Structures are given as C-alpha cells and as structure tokens.
Chains A and B, each alone.
Chain A
Amino acid sequence: MLTTSISPGPVPTVRLSGEMDLDCADGLRAAVEEAARGASGVVLDFGDVTFIDSSGTGIFVRLALDLKSRGTPLVARNLSPAVRSVFEMLRVRELVGDDVFAE
C-alpha cells in the first residue's frame, strides 16, 4: 500500500511511502493533482518507497508525461535503491526525459 503526504510551497513535494503497484494509481494521481493545483512544478520524493513494479512505474511515467504536457514539470527525487533499480531496468529516463531526474 502506498501513502502520500504533501509539503506545500511554490513547488510542493509529494512524499511517497510504501509499495507502488497496480493499486496506487488513484491515490497517487489524486495527490499529485492536488499538489499541482496552482503550483509551478511538483517534486515526488521516493525515499520511502520499498517496492515498485512495472505497473507502479507505468503510473509514474504517465503522470510525469501528463504534467509535462500541461507545463507543470514533475521532478523525481531521492530514489530508493528499489526504485532506482527498476527505473534503470525499464529505462524510465528515456521515456520521461532527463529533466525529470534533475537534482
């Protein structure tokens, strides 16, 4: 199960905790949409994500591309080893662009 918490600001941070799989789509999208409202960008903090599979990855990719197309960049930060490994396996950087992983 994935839980989310939002730290407000001009570029809010959505902190993710738990597991990202098929189940996380609705909750993650709702949290990111709430954070993106009126913001100039959104940061996703993956530091406490303990598991991710291709479904969870697909949901992230879709969100990143959607926000980018609306002019609200999404930045992924603090990738846990579990996330980094799967993102590299699935070549996520090629799908969403290097700018999503800017530190």
Chain B
Amino acid sequence: MSTDAAAPASLLAFRYRPADGSLGRLVGDGPLPLPADELRQRPDEALARRAFVCHAHTTPGEGEADELCLVPLGDHCDILAIRTRGWQRHHGDHRRSLVDILNDLAAAVARGRLRLLDEAECARERTAGREALRFVIDDTPGLQNARQAVELLLADAGLPDIHRQRTILCISEAVTNMLVHGGGRGEMTVRRLPDRVRVVVADAGPGLNFLNWLEPPSPQGQVSMGYGYHIMLDHLDAVGLHTSPAGTTLILDRLVPAAASQPDPTQETPC
C-alpha cells in the first residue's frame, strides 16, 4: 500500500492520545503531513473545544494546499490528512471526484457516522454478538446468494422494507469493493447484537488507499463510480473501517426496531 509521490490525491489518518502523547497510524502509509511534534500539537484546539476543526496547510516544497481535519473523540483525536494536489478527474468523466470521496469520508468521521478502528477495536467489534450467517465470497454469484440470505434475515428481524432494501444495497457496495479493490476474495459475516444487525466484510487484500479507485473505466462497462462509500455512509446507522496492508474490514451496523430486537444469548445471565 505504498503512496506514490506523484499520486494525485491521498488520505492518511492518525490517532493522537494526549494522555500518553502517542500518535498511531490508522489509514495509509505515506509520509507524515507535518513533522510528528507539530502534528501532535494540532489537536489541542479541537480537544479543548470538543469540536471538529478543519483547516488547510501547505506541504513544504510542494505548494499544494492540503486539508487537515481534527476530530475529537473522547480521550483521543483522529487526524485526517487529505492531500489533494489540486487534482480532479478530467472533464466528461462522470465518476465522482476522488477529492469529493475523501472529503465525504472526513465529514463522516466528524459526524460520527464513520469510525476509523485500530486493530484492537476492530478485533473486538468484529466478534461482538452472535454469528447468524457466514459466507466466503469470491465472485458475484456468491454476492447474489449472500444478498438473498441476508434479506430473509433482515425480514425476520422486523426491518421495514425501505431499511431492508437500503441495507442490502450497502452490503452489495461493500462486497463489490472487496471483489474489485480488496484482492477479489473475502468473508462476510452477519452478527446479531441486542439492538442491531452487524455485517462484517473482511478481506486480506492490499489495504485501502483510495488511489486504486483511479483506474480508467474498463471497455466493457463502468465498474465503479466512486459512490459505494457515499451510499454506505448515508444509509447505515454506523460504519466502522479498519485497513492496513494486511487487509480491510468494514463493519456495517443497522439498528433494528426495539420490538424485534432479539436478546443476545452471549449476554444473558444464567438462571
């Protein structure tokens, strides 16, 4: 998951913990947008005000304005650095601009809709609750089978039609991203928690750096317009993302109506 110095745009994310001064990397492996000491000082204002702060800064020697987004989250602050380099898709390309995609991701983190997870958080969340379905998916017929099975499960969970349809759409987007960008193979698990249905889509691909969304359209058809994450972030109750050179995990949460919520047997106290 190397970041090419000539790459047109990129997203890096870091987590700063003021208690111990640690600065961990969440997304991307490119060079720091600022010297580490300076980067540690930037969250002070956001943490003090408990408010999302976003500002432009200039990378020395490059002259291109980058965005630095600071998102205070309790005892830590997530730092998102978007390097735009002024790049945009050429006129007439109907896919979404990569900068739009990256800005959407930053805004979703700020709204709490997207949570960037470190390895420990991801391991904890992907195993929470009770496993209801599991699929290994390496082609689109596998995705189609999974959609049908999840649709039945969501109907049993009492989700209204519109939420059921949109959840299935989001699952399709997540698994399609896995097939196209995540090494072409992975696992989808559906889990029941007391208040939600959780879908975990995990691959062992090269990790998400968003630059692999730049391929030109294939001659057979447009396989990606860059809308997958936009749809997931708009239509799910919460999305968690962990990505590294060892793979990517997406955690998609849909709250279920209280009356239809099932108790989680793993949480029950024995009589």
Write the residues of chain A forming the contact surface with B, with a CB cutoff of 8 angstroms: 1, 19, 21-23, 25-26, 28-29, 51, 53-55, 57-59, 61-63, 65, 82, 85-86, 89-90, 95
Contacts and interface: CB of A to CB of B under 8 A. Distances in A.
B269 interface: no
**Top-10 shortest CB links A-B:** A25-B221, A58-B222, A23-B140, A62-B222, A59-B221, A54-B227, A53-B172, A58-B225, A95-B94, A25-B220
B180 A22 contact: yes
B225 A54 contact: yes
Nearest to A62: B222
A1 B144 CA distance: 8
Given A53-B172, A54-B224, 19 more contacts: A1-B144, A19-B144, A21-B140, A21-B172, A22-B143, A22-B176, A22-B223, A23-B140, A25-B223, A51-B168, A51-B172, A53-B169, A54-B173, A55-B172, A58-B95, A59-B221, A61-B225, A62-B222, A86-B169
Contacts of B95: 58
Contacts of A55: 172, 176, 223-224
Contacts of A26: 220-221
A51 B176 CA distance: 14
Nearest to B228: A54
Contacts of A58: 95, 221-225
Contacts of B169: 51, 53, 86
A82 B227 contact: no
A51 B14 CA distance: 37
Interface string B163-180: 001001100110010011
B144 A53 contact: no
23 contacts: A21-B172, A22-B140, A22-B179, A22-B223, A23-B141, A26-B221, A29-B221, A51-B168, A51-B169, A51-B172, A53-B176, A54-B176, A54-B227, A54-B231, A58-B222, A58-B224, A61-B94, A61-B222, A62-B222, A86-B169, A89-B234, A90-B225, A90-B227
Nearest to A86: B169
Nearest to B180: A22
B92 to A, nearest CB: 9
B265 interface: no
Interface in B186-223: 217-218, 220-223
